[in-house]
Structure 1
Amino acid sequence: MILDIYKDALEYSAKDWKTLVVLGVISLFSFLLLPAFIITGYNYRVVNQAVHGIINGKDPLPEFTDIMGMFVDGIKFFVVQVAYLIVPVLIFIIFALIAGNIGGFASAVLMVIGCLITFIVGVVAYIMNQMGICHMAYHDGEFSKAFAFKELKEVVDEVGWFECIATYLGLIIITVVLAVVVTSIIGMLFTVFGFSGFILGVDASGIFALGAFLNWLITIFIVGPYLSIFNSRSVGLLYTMQI
């Protein structure tokens, strides 16, 4: 089932390359915050479509309509993510403060324990966070549903804690591998061109600069948006395993 989710999401994310370019253009201005929330709002629409769909369905990519609504959804998406970070961050800070006042070997032991607890709580918080966003989307954007902890636990129990963790680990691996492979291929091609030009007595600095610029363009306009949609679609489809 997990492999089916990945297969669906990989194919789904490549359905419309123009959408990827549009997201890339918007991301260039994400430092202005408004575009950043539009991007998270679009990801929320991908999740929303997935939780109301099926694996290997024929869903098209969401359209860029109702931009203000997308912006609001993006803020809600962001707030949920930040809210779930608070507990593990507070736990780490508390342990760090106590360890800092103790000093010595006991301080090191306490920090190891604190890091372990923070990691465990962080994993649980991340799973609840992802399912919370999906649960909110499934209930027509009802914000409180993102923090309906009893319902979310039932969702995760139904899907399976192991399946959730395995799916998210797989997403991390696939995301890193795809990003590294694409950038490495482009980098190696222009490295070969550059050294070939150097051997022929041509100034290769322009070739290397072009390769770096092309890598940046492809990452911003293709790879980044593609992986963002891929992850959002996968998370939404994972939620449907309990429906």
Structure 2
Amino acid sequence: MKFPFSNVGRAVGLLLLFLGSILIIPIILALGYIFRIIEHTINGSNELPPLGEWGNMFVDGIKYLVATAIYLIVPNILTFVLFKGMLASIYAGDSQISLLLVSVVGLIFVLPFDLVYIMALGNMVHEDRFEAAFDFSKIFELIGKMGWPKYALYIIVFAIIGFILGIISNLGTFMHISFGLGWAAGILISLLVQVYLVMYQGRYIGLICRKGNLMAKGDGEVEGNFEVEENKGTEAG
């Protein structure tokens, strides 16, 4: 969790990219920077990577965006179909049952995509090939070396922390409505938390993929606690 503060200047640079995210190019560059965070983490770095080489970062952002969009196709279609079914059930008077059913079925079908997607992103970054995001034999090998139950636990922790940070990022709007804070303050709070969230996500994905690759190479059981690895880098500096 300390990782986003490892270099405040670079974190501010990412914040500026998010401030310009109403435009296409800055948001793609921001995705490219997340790509770079994953890459540097896999390579053992414990500090935010430098900004620069904008052309390469833009290309990396495109790869990140396209891979994510492809992995979201099936879950989005499934969500749309389930939502339509839920609306039909609500009109028929079975709202509680339909909501529970949609939640359970959605979780069963969407969770496998999330499990594969996280390692797929890491594999794409590690091999520096877009096609590596769909090299399922390699992806499943990496997950298998870690153990599916342990890997699933990492993803659940990842999702829970991301969910909590997502709630916090919406506090800006809540504070504006409840306490009369200006829109600028509300937007700034949301952006700060969002920037922290994406840096955390990039770091976590990189650590998971690094662990999978180390175990696949036969380096034995590596640190299970990701925070331990971050603390090592802090002490070394």
Structures share fold, TM-score greater than 0.5:
yes
Q: Could you tell me which of 124, 128, 132 is aligned with 1:145?
A: 132
> Quick check: 1:52 aligned with 2:15?
no
> Quick check: 1:66 aligned with 2:69?
no
Shift of 1:115: 5.3
Backbone CA RMSD of aligned residues: 3.6
> Quick check: 1:209 aligned with 2:196?
no
Shift of 1:132: 0.7
The higher-RCO structure (CA 8 Å, 6+ apart) is 1
- Which region of structure 1 is more displaced relative to structure 2, 162-171 or 75-84? 162-171
Which deviations, in whole Å up to 9, do the C-alpha atoms of 1:110-140 show, x marking residues without a partner? 886665443222111112111111001111x
Shift of 1:59: 3.0
Contact 1:40 1:77 in 2 (8 A): yes
Distance 1:225 1:101, change over 3 A: closer
Q: Counterpart of 1:201? A: none
Alpha-carbon separation, structure 2, partners of 1:79 and 1:14: 29
Shift of 1:13: 1.4
Alpha-carbon separation, structure 2, partners of 1:177 and 1:95: 25
For normalisation by structure 2, the TM-score amounts to: 0.72
Contact 1:46 1:62 in 2 (8 A): yes
Q: Counterpart of 1:3? A: none
> Quick check: 1:119 aligned with 2:90?
no
Alpha-carbon separation, structure 2, partners of 1:179 and 1:132: 23
Look up the SS of the partner of 1:30 in the other structure: coil
Alpha-carbon separation, structure 1, partners of 2:187 and 2:86: 42
Q: Could you tell me which of 4, 8, 11 is aligned with 1:20?
A: 11
Larger Cα-atom Rg: 1
Which deviations, in whole Å up to 9, do the C-alpha atoms of 1:176-211 show, x marking residues without a partner? 545666987xx99xx9xx8xxxxxxxxxxxxx436x
Look up the SS of the partner of 2:181 in the other structure: helix
2:40 maps to amino acid: Q
Q: Counterpart of 1:41? A: 32
Q: Counterpart of 1:205? A: none
2:71 maps to amino acid: Y
Shift of 1:234: 0.9
Identity %: 23
Shift of 1:173: 3.1
Alpha-carbon separation, structure 1, partners of 2:123 and 2:78: 26
For normalisation by structure 1, the TM-score amounts to: 0.71
Aligned pair count? 209
Contact 1:42 1:70 in 2 (8 A): yes
* Structure 1 gaps, min length 5: 1-9, 195-207
